[in-house]
Structure 1
Amino acid sequence: MTNNNNDLTLNAPLTGPVRTLGNVPDEVFASGAMGDGLAIDPLNDCLYAPCDGVVIHLARTGHALTLRADNGAEILLHVGIDTVELKGEGFALLVKEGARVSSGQALVRLDLDRIARQCKSLISLIILTNSDQFELRPFSMQMATVGQPLMQVYPRHTSATRTAPGAHTGNAASASIRITHKGGLHARPAALIRKTAQGFSSQSHLHFAGKSAPCGSLIGLLGLGIGEQDEVRVSCQGEDSEAALQALLAALSLAVPHKAPATVAAQRAPAQAGVLQGVCAAPGLVCGPLWRMSSIELPADPRTHVADEQLQQLDAALEQVRGEIRRTLEHARRRKDVDEEEIFAAHLALLEDPALLEAATAAIEQGSAATHAWRDAIQAQCAVLLGLGKPLFAERANDLRDLQQRVLRALLGEAWQFELPAGAIVAAHELTPSDLLQLSEQNAAGLCMAEGGATSHVAILARGKGLPCVVALGSEVLDVPQGQRVVLDAANGRLELMPDDARHAEVHQIRDAQKLQRQQQQAQAQTAASTLDGVSVEVAANVASSSEAQMAYENGADGVGLLRTEFLFVERRTAPDEQEQRQAYQAVLDAMGDKPVIIRTIDVGGDKQLDYLPLPAEANPVLGLRGIRMAQVRPELLDQQLRALLQVSPLQRCRILLPMVSEVDELLHIRQRLDDLCAELGLTQRPDLGVMIEVPAAALMAEQLAEHADFLSIGTNDLSQYTLAMDRDHAGLAARVDALHPALLRLIAQTCAGAAKHGRWVGVCGALASDPLATPVLVGLGVRELSVSPPQIAEIKDRVRHLDATQCRQLSQGLLNLSSAGAVRQACHQHWPLS
């Protein structure tokens, strides 16, 4: 590596608020394990080069790249947190690995809306990865603009690096391991490997696909291109080689493998006679005749065409398909089907891809028919994607095949209609998203495919449509005779080829019972819910807009148990004014008819930053200025919100909820402020004022809080992570953050007991309220309002109606003494089995 000892100025690669590393919601970045640096919360849609240099590493997913500056400094640019999991979606690379770039040159085009909807955070990193050789000094600023000087880099003038004692002597040790880190060995796990290696004197290397890299080199590790489930070999040489090897193996296996499609073979159950085993893409149980769907086959091309005519035909077909996709998009938007909208928006973009259009046009100009030219252009691109050997690219190739079929149908003038037998289960080599929409409209009962993946666009759409779907059944599914009766047990990934009459009758009986149960639940959804012994339980809804409130009302909600007002404040440059807030809150009240609406005051701060609300950087933002604590910093923001809330009509249906309260004085301060504002506005009565119980202190002080609050609402999501000291977004811990942990149940019980002493009611608005298994426990502990997601209202009300509150109270007390959340769940299944 060349190093001319020159100082270096790094310019801002993005525009947005500047954060210190300690304020980044990721322990690896925040700890400095990757090196020194800064973060920017991006507001623009392109990443630019911060200096002259060479691209020495480029993540295949496009979310990160590393530049080597002319003085030898290596700068990692990493867009967003956990963006490796987007697998390239939202990132358009403008440079290649090995390219020389100039300061200010565009590197990656970003679809910020798409990325933000799917990743943990948009906060992006500028990291000096060889901080051992260079010192970084940031300029003091709160807001960065692309091209503005951001940091200065100085060489560290140290003596030449010496070989560590014993590095090339002593014992050697090596072992192989399969990489289970989600997304492969990308920047964050590579940084953990480097940090682990630096703790030993031995020299360690990682070996993969004929290449090697020292474990102490972040760029070297990234350059190996190691993917998830790839097998690598670790070698160590030196006096502490065995200890280094074991530590590195532990670091490499730190992440738990996720359930996204590994190999199909690994997910298949043992084969059974008369059963094809695949992978569940969308659950469900159906039976009916199998109907095989074939793709379009073209005859040989005589290549005697007039090029201009063929080009006109292709243009007309492309415009027809664009029109069809635009109509699909508009329909998806009206139904607020985000998944469907994103899938077909991507299809529309693919139709504009210059590489496809140029390839098809060139073939037509050389004599090909428009049909053959389009097919060949698509298939050539599919071959490139499939040649990469990655499941994600194979699934994107299926989107291209979808466009192949659609445009061919338009060119051939074929109607996209299938004459399906009643209740048909459709079999195909691999269905496309548009195939699925057409089959769904024509009432297909289920789908089964020889190939395909459980995370494909078809799988996403099938789940959204409630259409049972099994993928990866193998080519045998295409040999099943047309019209043969089969059973598709999608939840278990099975296609039963020879079910007898008894099995058919059993499937029909199960489906009829499930359908009847859903119909009965929905028929009673508008009716209040009471237990068998007459205890009333309100089932309200968690919403974040007036449209969601309308959906909740139609689904039978007894009210809104939690309106998250953050939807008004985020993704904008200035705060909403009082009038805009009042109109938004009024729209929610109007959507709920005569039902009560609980509106939570703004819950931002800490890790949820607003561009127009600069707050100091915090080492642990989840424990920092957030929720009601922000009123101490910016009281005018809360005052404005309270004024807007006090102007809704009728005011008696509005209830105000305060987040993140931890002591009585906070409640008393806001209550006094609310009384003062009522007096200013000439109101003789203030709305009910409640407190969220989401920190252990509030649960322990519930009796004292209930003396001054009108109601308490338990936020089990935050209460769980604060009680268990586990971040609910931590990949390795999220599954253990279970609100049915006995410690959480004790806090809920104490909250209900404290509230009861002052005659106050307690609700639950966290995710636990939506879990039918938890319903009897919450009722038994004294909860009298459950705020759930709108689609679950009917199910939770039905669950309440089948409970005996006295029995729930007796059995729930015993759960407080169990040893774990798992034990509680097992006991719940025994006491109150789910039908």
Structure 2
Amino acid sequence: MLSLTPQDVRMGQVLASKEAVISALADWLEQDGNVAPGYGAGMLAREAQTSTYLGQGIAIPHGIQACRHLVKKTGIKALHLPEGVDWGEGEKAYLVLGIAAGSDEHLELLRRLARALGRDDLAERVRQARHSDDILRLLRVDEGEEAPLLEWRAETIRTGLKATALDELQRAAADLLRTNEQELAALQSPLHLGQGWWLSQTVTEGKPRMALVTTMAEGEHHGQPVRALLALAVSGNGHKRLLVQLADWLVAGKGAELAALAGEALQRALTRGPVAPGEQALTANQRVVTVRNHQGLHARPGAMLVQLARQFEAEIRVRNLDGDGHEVNAKSLMKLIGLGVRPGHQLLFTANGADADEALTQLQAAIHEGLGEELVPVTAETGTVHRVQDIAANTQVHGVGASPGIAIGPVYVETPVTFDYADMACNAEAERERLNSALEQADRELAEAAAEAAAPQARDILAMHRELLSDPALLEGAGARLRRGASAPAAWWAEIDAAATEQAASANALLAERAADIRDIGRRVMAILCNTPLPSPPDTPYVWVAEDTGPSEVVNMNAERVLGLVTAGGGPSSHSAILARTLGIPALVAMGGAVMGLKTGTPVILDGEAGTLHVAPAPEVLARARAQQARERQLAEQAWAQRHQPAVTRDGHRLEVGANLGDTAATAAAVEAGAEGVGLLRTECVFMGRSRAPDVSQQLAEYQAAFAALKGRPLVARTLDVGGDKPLSWWPAPREDNPFLGVRGIRLCRQQPELLETQLRALLTAAGDQPVRIMFPMVADWAEWRFARELFERVQADIHAPNVQVGMMVEVPSAALHAPQFAKEADFFSIGTNDLTQYTLAADRGNGALAALSDGLHPAVLKLIAMTVDAAHAEGKWVGICGELGSDLQALPLLLGLGVDEVSVSPGRIPMVKARVRECNLARCRALAGRALAARDARAVRALVETSS
């Protein structure tokens, strides 16, 4: 049996963290010959599994079962910490006992310590102790004269009270105790035992009594949670058994689970004790359900589940048994999504209230039915998901078009790779070296891939992935897991999974899509750690089908063999989709789990423009598709041959066509593709990938290279536009619930105007006598415009650039509605239709589920464009389009009819945009635009364009 002596207690210790305390205890145990090296990692691993905070300022860290072989002899060491150390969940530990036990010897010690928790103000008395003997006296339990034993009795337990304040629970408990005034006064000083459990105790001359009350909804008292209150009227030590039984639950870290039980279930649980890990012992108010939705509980099915839960009065809690185990309110969508529920995960629902049973029955049925989505079975062998039924032959499946074009060929279905590794290891230093070696190898591979990548976007994304490899948050988190005894792959993947899950749960779809980047770099390192090759595609041309594709996979793929790209998840603004457009590969995203059931080799027709995938097409369908593909190829060849000719309609109206660039190095290629200038230079490319803000000379070099390649053609430069999904590592910003409605664009520059001033100085200096057009992003208010304009005028007064215009982006409805006022000062407007559409329709442009709504041809968006054009032309100013709408061949006749003067598109689309303009007649376009403005929705507008062609 373990025992504590004065020599085993060190008083007055000052340590900075829980990890430091555990490390000190492990070193002490090792020095005294109790344990072998590596036991400290097992203690940290135990802490990661469940908190060892016992209550009343006492914690009892001990090793996991896998490290018991490191125990040489039973021992215990105690550190007295008068200043306290944060032990998680708002608890402070003032006395920490490190335990080394080769079997279950420590359990009896835990029970004996738990008996001490009934002492009033134990935590404060421990904190103020001066000698080791003081500690031993505080922890000693006097046997004394046996009093009648108190038992958990159903009539003295009330559960699911609507009260959440501690004083309300005290009144309810006092009623159950039937206290007199003297006893009631003593009950007013409750002690927090931990995990939301409180103890009120008074001495009685009569018969010992107990009362237990729990809340329906968790409250708070002095910063600590309130879940339950145990009130005792005691005489002698007959109540100690109750405290021991309760302490068993708290030691197991199951206080919240216990408080959620109702009536007799709570009585039985307290008498029985906590269920050991791995056992299945559900009470009447609990259900376990397996999630079989293809993408787990993401926003859409999660919202349906929450709406159903809210129909019941019962309090409903849920935990992901395959996640980190914490419990949340099932009526909160953000809490539910935060559980990171994936296919095959099990959910434990607990309900308390009059309609609890009905709530659980309906929730279970709803999940079994799929919450509005098709279900997929989960295979126990791999944990991967497969479609219940195959897609029938000659069937057209709809998704979201991410890159235009037609691809015809057999599919290659990339199944998720499974990594096999041990969860735990006892040599933390060796595992750290192993992880560092894998990170270094992955960095070398990424550097080599970036050097070989032709597309600037690919190089930028690979550079960002290299930054992820050295991200301090990932490395610190993995390091902490290694110290707790995790193996290198387990520590790394746990951090990757947590970061990606948090990212995917972002309310902003564009940010959520960046989870693919995190998992992509995570898989690369895991493949090295586990010596497991990533999937290898066939040597013949194919249409690539995957759950989701990481950007580095797209960069490294053989573009000559990949005919098209199809992903079950993702979105049109993911990095993979952007790269597919850059490389000219037709792509579909957000197709759903059905496509993962396709057999490799199945022939398909992918139409990136229409957003469709035709599976195993009939011969006549295949023939029509091949004919259409041949026509499009011929038209593309003709457009390329005429790319340097101006875009002039049949009746002589000219539309300028410029290039959208995210990298100054791409300027020459854009000119070669037929660009008449740069209509949008996203200058944040100059600011990203650096450790600090670029100075004037660094920016000058970038901008001068672009002006040199343009040879007198105009350059429209958008000033620094970060925020939203484009944070700067050297410019930390506070987290925003909705960053696209937060501090971004010109709003961000107003916080540090010296950055904008430096950029303006570099742009005007670099231009010399060449035409430069400077525009400010995200202007929504007159004060923002005046700030930017006045700053420009101060810089221009110094430099005197001879050929400069200054304008603004029209990206929010307020800018379009206020365009007549802005047009009096701005030299031009450039309409960012991507943002203007999402802000007008309240539809996130990156959300595949809203693709049909988030259409720039919606009449409301077209009206805002028309207002902007009319206001500008009334003042003799010009208007450009720099969003994706300018590349939409269906939209071009309407933009011409609305009076747009210029469009700016990706370089690869310039020849086709010019060719489409040459097919148009301005008079007919104006008539068509008039009808479109009166249409009901975007679908009706597109139908108008179709019938008029």
TM over 0.5, shorter chain: yes
What displacement does 1:554 show? Answer: 2.1
- Which residue of structure 1 lines up, in the alignment, with residue 343 of structure 2? 228
Equivalent-residue separation in structure 2 for 1:7 and 1:255 (angstroms): 53
1:667 aligns with 2:785: yes
Cα distance change on mapping 1:697 and 1:723 into 2, 3 Å: same
1:338 to 434, 458, 465: 458
1:695 aligns with 2:695: no
Contact 1:181 1:253 in 2 (8 A): no
- Which residue of structure 2 lines up, in the alignment, with residue 715 of structure 1? 832
- Which residue of structure 1 lines up, in the alignment, with residue 716 of structure 2? 598
What displacement does 1:710 show? Answer: 1.3
- Which residue of structure 1 lines up, in the alignment, with residue 392 of structure 2? 270
Greater C-alpha Rg: 2
- Which residue of structure 2 lines up, in the alignment, with residue 518 of structure 1? 636
Amino acid of the structure 2 residue aligned with 1:646: L
1:637 aligns with 2:752: no
Q: What are the Cα deviations for residues 649-700 of structure 1, in whole angstroms up to 9, with x where unaligned?
A: 443321111112234454345434433323323x273511111111222111
Moved more, 222-231 or 396-405: 396-405
1:160 aligns with 2:203: no
- Which residue of structure 1 lines up, in the alignment, with residue 99 of structure 2? none
- Which residue of structure 1 lines up, in the alignment, with residue 705 of structure 2? 587
Equivalent-residue separation in structure 2 for 1:583 and 1:519 (angstroms): 35
Equivalent-residue separation in structure 2 for 1:581 and 1:130 (angstroms): 51
Equivalent-residue separation in structure 2 for 1:438 and 1:716 (angstroms): 32
Contact 2:879 2:901 in 1 (8 A): yes
1:756 to 854, 861, 873: 873
Equivalent-residue separation in structure 1 for 2:229 and 2:922 (angstroms): 72
Equivalent-residue separation in structure 1 for 2:947 and 2:339 (angstroms): 51
1:647 aligns with 2:769: no
SS at match of 2:785: helix
What displacement does 1:717 show? Answer: 2.2
Moved more, 713-722 or 578-587: 713-722
- Which residue of structure 1 lines up, in the alignment, with residue 941 of structure 2? 824
Equivalent-residue separation in structure 2 for 1:744 and 1:698 (angstroms): 13
Amino acid of the structure 1 residue aligned with 2:355: D
Which runs of structure 2 are paired with 1:103-182 in the superposition (5 Å)?
156=224, 158=226, 160-161=228-229, 180=293, 182=295
What displacement does 1:735 show? Answer: 5.5
Contact 1:182 1:255 in 2 (8 A): no
Q: What are the Cα deviations for residues 524-574 of structure 1, in whole angstroms up to 9, with x where unaligned?
A: 222211122222111211112122223322221121111111122234332
Equivalent-residue separation in structure 1 for 2:462 and 2:731 (angstroms): 31
Q: What are the Cα deviations for residues 723-747 of structure 1, in whole angstroms up to 9, with x where unaligned?
A: 2334445676566333222221111
- Which residue of structure 1 lines up, in the alignment, with residue 80 of structure 2? none
Contact 2:260 2:352 in 1 (8 A): no
Equivalent pairs counted in the alignment come to 605
Cα distance change on mapping 1:662 and 1:286 into 2, 3 Å: closer
- Which residue of structure 2 lines up, in the alignment, with residue 83 of structure 1? none
Amino acid of the structure 2 residue aligned with 1:270: A
1:781 aligns with 2:898: yes
What displacement does 1:237 show? Answer: 5.7
What displacement does 1:610 show? Answer: 3.8
Equivalent-residue separation in structure 1 for 2:534 and 2:746 (angstroms): 55
Contact 2:651 2:922 in 1 (8 A): yes
- Which residue of structure 2 lines up, in the alignment, with residue 70 of structure 1? 53
What displacement does 1:259 show? Answer: 13
Cα distance change on mapping 1:263 and 1:570 into 2, 3 Å: same
Amino acid of the structure 2 residue aligned with 1:160: A
What displacement does 1:598 show? Answer: 0.3
Which runs of structure 2 are paired with 1:299-378 in the superposition (5 Å)?
329=449, 332-334=452-454, 338=458
SS at match of 2:823: helix
- Which residue of structure 2 lines up, in the alignment, with residue 576 of structure 1? 694
SS at match of 1:708: coil
- Which residue of structure 2 lines up, in the alignment, with residue 772 of structure 1? 889
Q: What are the Cα deviations for residues 557-603 of structure 1, in whole angstroms up to 9, with x where unaligned?
A: 12111111112223433211111111111111222233211011112
Cα distance change on mapping 1:809 and 1:178 into 2, 3 Å: farther
Amino acid of the structure 1 residue aligned with 2:354: E
What displacement does 1:503 show? Answer: 8.5
Amino acid of the structure 2 residue aligned with 1:201: A
TM-score (norm 2): 0.50
Q: What are the Cα deviations for residues 15-44 of structure 1, in whole angstroms up to 9, with x where unaligned?
A: xxxxxxxxxxxxxxxxxxxxxxxxxxxxxx
What displacement does 1:767 show? Answer: 2.1
Equivalent-residue separation in structure 1 for 2:326 and 2:717 (angstroms): 55
Equivalent-residue separation in structure 2 for 1:200 and 1:696 (angstroms): 41
Q: What are the Cα deviations for residues 361-380 of structure 1, in whole angstroms up to 9, with x where unaligned?
A: xxxxxxxxxxxxxxxxxxxx
2:775 to 651, 657, 669: 657
Contact 1:329 1:340 in 2 (8 A): no
- Which residue of structure 1 lines up, in the alignment, with residue 666 of structure 2? 548
1:562 aligns with 2:680: yes
SS at match of 2:228: coil
Equivalent-residue separation in structure 2 for 1:646 and 1:630 (angstroms): 21
| Structure 2: tracts of 5 or more residues without a match | 1-12, 21-40, 57-62, 69-86, 93-163, 165-191, 197-220, 231-258, 266-282, 378-383, 412-441, 470-515, 571-575, 589-594, 608-612
Equivalent-residue separation in structure 1 for 2:930 and 2:402 (angstroms): 40
What displacement does 1:627 show? Answer: 2.3
Equivalent-residue separation in structure 2 for 1:331 and 1:655 (angstroms): 33
Equivalent-residue separation in structure 2 for 1:284 and 1:97 (angstroms): 58
What displacement does 1:238 show? Answer: 3.2
Equivalent-residue separation in structure 2 for 1:680 and 1:687 (angstroms): 14
| Structure 1: tracts of 5 or more residues without a match | 1-5, 14-48, 58-66, 74-94, 101-125, 137-152, 291-321, 350-390, 407-415, 478-486
Contact 1:332 1:340 in 2 (8 A): no
Amino acid of the structure 1 residue aligned with 2:662: A
Contact 1:642 1:674 in 2 (8 A): yes
Contact 2:294 2:375 in 1 (8 A): no
- Which residue of structure 2 lines up, in the alignment, with residue 741 of structure 1? 858
- Which residue of structure 2 lines up, in the alignment, with residue 82 of structure 1? none
TM-score (norm 1): 0.56
Amino acid of the structure 2 residue aligned with 1:156: Q
Equivalent-residue separation in structure 1 for 2:639 and 2:768 (angstroms): 31
Amino acid of the structure 2 residue aligned with 1:692: M
Equivalent-residue separation in structure 2 for 1:760 and 1:810 (angstroms): 23
